[in-house]
Amino acid sequence: MFKRFRRVRVNPIIRDLVEESRVETRDFIYPLFAKEGKGVKKEIVSMPGVFQMSVDEIIKECEGLLKLGLNKILLFGIPDVKDSIGSDALSEDGIIARAVREIKKVYGKDLLIATDLCFCEYTDHGHCGILDLEHNSVDNDATLEITQKQALIHAYSGSDLIAPSGMMDGTVEAIRDVLDENGFVNLPIMSYSTKFSSAYYGPFRDVAESCPSFGDRKSYQMNFSNRREALAESLEDEAQGADILMVKPALAYLDIVRDIREASLLPLCVYNVSGEYSMLKAAGKAGVIDYEKVLMETLTSFKRAGADIIISYHAKEAAELLAKSKGYL
């Protein structure tokens, strides 16, 4: 006798009862981009609905996020002045340090602030650390030294979660060591543990003003063809002390998400990146897809693949849709 799978699909209530993967508002981290100045809220053409904002505007934005049930943000800094080593990221008066302090003054423990730890937004060359001019790339170990300094700036400013994204070898160990040595033993690290060199990042470089002035990032970000290396990268960061792992981008790398999920017991995050966001927005605007349905299907695919956490520019829209589906709005 054949199995009648349709028995558990006959009506919405039983379908809901046996549903395996669910997206919830608590799954999301919402990225925000802090810009110098006051009253600044500049929409990014390539990312409709995404803005560069001054800290006062971010504080207003966070009030709206909390009303939607979104209580976790990922903060990026965009300084006015950039130099060869990203000095603004190493200053207690830099944009990211001031932003964290000001947001914390208003929201305290009601809002979790994760801080992206990298140098591409802060350097005049757009690469993720100190340049090795002889090899026309980034000096891994010299960058680790300033990465430690940046991590302490974030920690003393009040970051709740350090998120290193530069893909230098040894980053997690270097950060864990310096945090522990300075009394931040309970400050967790969410590593961009498997971050691919991807064309899906294009619109992000508009909002973060981080496009490399020469070359590319293939010497430190991962080859998108490599599956075994992708798993090894995340397992190495786990061994170095990462508390949360990440795959970036998300949509084209669900096989990697599943591989890591099956190999590690750590919480696993995906970054639903700018190109993925902008493509859905464009397709919705063109009328070729039912935007809201495709959005929720896409987000559910991340959970089904094994992700626990989703960083997404869609988070506000998703939270509204989830609230409506539950009758809250």
Q: What is the DSSP string of 96-154?
A: HHHHHHHHHHHHGGGSEEEEEE-STTTBSS-SSS-EETTTTEE-HHHHHHHHHHHHHHH
Q: Would you say the C-alpha torsion 212, 213, 218, 221 has a positive or negative sign?
A: negative
Is residue 164 helix, strand or coil? strand
Structure tokens at 236: 């190495």
Structure tokens at 94: 């830099």
> Could you report how far apart the first and last alpha carbons of the chain are, in Å?
46
Amino acid at 193: S
Using alpha carbons, select from 60, 29, 57 the residue that is nearest to residue 42.
57
Which DSSP letter does residue 250 get?
-
Report whether 251 contacts 18 (CB < 8 A). Answer: no
Amino acid at 72: K
Catalytic residue chosen out of the listed positions 35, 72, 195, 281: 195
Amino acid at 322: L
Catalytic residue chosen out of the listed positions 248, 303, 316, 326: 248
Using alpha carbons, select from 89, 74, 253 the residue that is nearest to residue 162.
74
Is 72 in the active site? Answer: no
Report whether 53 contacts 32 (CB < 8 A). Answer: yes
> In sequence order, what are the residues at sequence separation of 6 or more whose Cβ sits closer than 8 angstroms to the Cβ of residue 231?
194, 256, 259, 260, 263
Is 3 in the active site? Answer: no
Beta-carbon count within 10 A of 190 CB: 26
Which residues are marked as active site?
A: 195, 248
